[in-house]
Structure 1
Amino acid sequence: MTARLPVGFAVEIDRTTRRLDRGAVLLGGSPPRLLRLAPVARELLAGPRLRVADRRTAGLARTLLDAGVAHPRPATGPTAAEVTVVVPVRDNPTGLAALLAGVHGVGAVVVVDDGSRTPVRVPDGVRVLRHARSRGPAAARNTGLAEASTPYVAFLDSDVVPAPGWLQPLLAHLGDPAVALVAPRIVAGAEVGRGSVGRYEAVRSSLDLGRREAPVVPRSRVAYVPSAALLVRRAALAALPSWPGFDESMPVAEDVDLCWRLHAEGWRLRYEPTSTVGHAHRTDVRSWLGRKAFYGTGAAALAWRHPGLVPPVALAPWTALACGLALTATRPGLVGAAVVSATATVRLSRALPQLEHPVRTAVGLAPQGLLGAGWQLASAAWRHWWPLSAALAVLSPRSRRTILALGVVEGLADWFVHARGQAGLDPVRHTLLKRADDLAYGTGLWVGAWRHRSTAALRPHLRG
């Protein structure tokens, strides 16, 4: 999908994008990439924003967006009257009532009752479709999608409540004809936050993708968006191969699958955190851990449908080797890690001949790669690979000390990044709950791998 951006559409350089060589090169995106600007492009991009005025500026703006170094600033978008809101629900009348009370001014509202024990009740003007028996949320959403006649459809689960003004920031993104899907930030609802699990979920929910806007691209910082709240271009979903919409054979991870199928068809997807919806996070320990494990079971099916997109870690070979040597916690291992890192830095500088200062840039980039690799491995040791870590801990006292140290350091780092300065948990309880979160997800991951008789979701990916 290469539709041209409309006149008046603007893009803004991401605040983390670095300008090198006096603005001739941009370094940014996820994963990071270098863009060398032609003289004309450099002149057009003298400031932080670029506004589309003709074919040339439209092409440059599209390149910057697709590289992830800039974000859209649309001028106009569709109206709320062009949106049908679809709500799948099963046995949640209280949540449904709260949701419908927060939806105003849209073209239509369709509630799909997915086999509730007691038929749902809705206000006048809301249409109800009913499944005689539960067919799952994917099927319920597809039933509503088929009923919609508007160009755009918003899917809202019955356990979310949209904040005032939630729809307009999402609609603006659809002013780009290449965007098929845009999602808001999902934050803790007003009733969440009591107790340790509630406070942890308020800052570390699997559904909350953070404060930074992003393109939705597999194996990037925002690889997918959850289906609890989505705005989609109806024609894009209807034209998808295999399933015109959500894959009804998937009881979990159908939202990830939808994002990746749209991406494979060339559509753009966006995450817009200025739009928020509140979600009733699970705070009972048993249901919370069960939900985490349930999410984990979906990885094996995703790995089968989308090969190479679900690795537990994705590392450059040199970072894998350097981290492996460092984790031996021996003098030869640490020396070897330093030698590997220095060699990789030199090789990286030689791969950047187009820069004025390739060595300086490589010296800045290599430690970031090593730190990111270490973070991935520490997380995977307690999440994706915890049965292997447990076996190593039993067999080797040195491995046991290393694994425990990784768990503590990664947990404290996670608290520092996500929870520091907020009215949440202290570092110790946050770390303990992070480890429980990871162990539950990892358990589901291994269960799913066993059911599918596949280790694809457990194998690391080493890339150059």
Structure 2
Amino acid sequence: LSERIALRRDLPEVRHPLCLQQKYDSSLPTASVIICFHDEAWSTLLRTVHSIMDTAPKAFLKDIILVDDLSQQGPLKSALSEYISKLDGVKLIRSNKRLGVIRGRMLGAARATGDVLIFMDSHCECQKGWLEPLLARLSSNRNSVVSPVIDVIDWKTFQYYHSVGLHRGVFDWKLDFHWEPVPEREEKVRQSPISPIRSPAVAGAVVAMDRHYFQNTGAYDSDMTMWGAENLELSIRTWLCGGSVEIIPCSRVGHVYRNHFPRTFSYEEAMVRNKIRIAETWLGPFKENFY
């Protein structure tokens, strides 16, 4: 179905009315958007790229860096290089070995020149005005990791569903990520319906942070493999190292959630290894709760 939907489409306006009244300084930091992909559907990948280009002001978008993690699909090889060459500000890096999301994102980050790094999955669509609120928050608090509100794009119909109510990311002792409604005590410290939401963790779909902060706090953990739980490692490390993790309500990005995943042994093994790495590195005496 994705192939039959236009690569550039208008999404329904789902932001809070107060978001539409926000004015942003022209001196906001610039952003590099890093997208790592492996055999992503042609249309879904390019819809992600076009939605960024169509919604991000050129003054703030330094570049989009695509990292091809050894894709095998034909169109993602020669045809993609030709297509991307016609897009201003889009770079394509090809890995000659399988890296996984974590190392793929780090490869892209090493080539990025924007003040802010935004890591985005290869199956997203951005709402109008998604970028400026993230940059504004990071310009006032560079020791933070921020994420948009993640809306749902149905993987079968590609219909866009906006999240009802505000949620934050949490995790349990098994180091599994969940969403929960923002608790009342957190609502009380927020000054308005569009104030940032403090969150124990962020989802990995779209994450933004200051480039120097990312590098100075250790980037992604290179000892974690392939993909899985990297969002928790980043979130826990940020909080424990004196930073903050927040969701920015005026920034919204749709994400294609598949209800089936390649639950192969290698995937499960990588996830378990990464969780053990988090427990051993960051949980201290609390790691007994994980084991």
TM-score range, shorter chain: 0.5 to 0.7
Matched, 1:129 2:84: no
1:219-234, aligned counterparts within 5 Å? 222-234=199-211
Describe the superposition over 1:204-254 as per-residue Cα deviations: whole angstroms up to 9, x where unpaired.
Answer: 998774664522xxxxxx3211221011100001112xxx31112213211
Aligned equivalents of 2:177, 2:250: Cα separation in 1: 15
SS in 1 for 2:250: strand
State the distance in 2 between where 1:232 and 1:309 align: 29
More displaced stretch, 293-302 vs 127-136 = 293-302
What's the counterpart of residue 90 of structure 1?
38
Q: Distance in 1 between matches of 2:25 and 2:178?
A: 25
Structure 1: how far apart are the matches of 2:23 and 2:266?
A: 40
Between Structure 1 and Structure 2, which shows a larger proportion of strand residues?
2
Residues 1:103 and 2:52 aligned together: yes
Range that drifts further, 149-158 or 160-169 = 160-169
Given candidates 244, 249, 259, the residue that maps to 2:223 is 249
CA RMSD of aligned residues (A): 3.7
| Structure 1 alignment gaps of length 5 or more | 1-73, 216-221, 312-454, 459-464
Output aligned runs, 1:27-66, within 5 Å.
none
TM-score under structure 1 normalisation? 0.43
Could you list the structure 1 runs, at least 4 aligned residues long, displaced by more than 6 angstroms after superposition.
201-208, 288-296
CA distance in 1, matches of 2:144, 2:26: 13
TM-score (norm 2): 0.65
Contact in 1 for aligned 2:142/2:209 (Cα 8 Å): no
Contact 1:188 1:280 in 2 (8 A): yes
Q: Output the CA distance in 2 between the equivalents of 1:208 and 1:456.
A: 18
How has the CA–CA distance of structure 1 residues 207 and 265 changed in structure 2, closer, same or farther, with 3 Å as cutoff?
closer
Asked whether the 8 Å contact 2:142–2:213 carries over to 1, the reply is no
1:169: which partner in 2?
133
Match of 1:159 among 123, 127, 131: 123
Alignment equivalent of 1:237, drawn from 214, 226, 250: 214
* Larger Rg belongs to: 1
Counterpart Cα distance in 1 of 2:164 and 2:156: 7
- Indicate the percent of aligned positions where both proteins have the same amino acid: 20
Displacement of 1:292 = 11
| Residue 105 of structure 2 corresponds to residue 141 of structure 1 | yes
How many pairs align? 227
Query: Is 1:457 paired with 2:284?
Result: no
Post-superposition Cα deviations, 1:59-88, rounded to whole Å, max 9, x if no partner, equal: xxxxxxxxxxxxxxx985676771111111
CA distance 1:210–1:280, change in 2 (3 Å): same
User: Cα deviations across residues 32-58 of structure 1 (Å, max 9, x unaligned)?
Assistant: xxxxxxxxxxxxxxxxxxxxxxxxxxx
Q: Which amino acid aligns with 1:96?
A: L
CA distance in 2, matches of 1:190, 1:80: 33
Structure 2 unaligned spans of 5+: 1-21, 170-175, 183-195
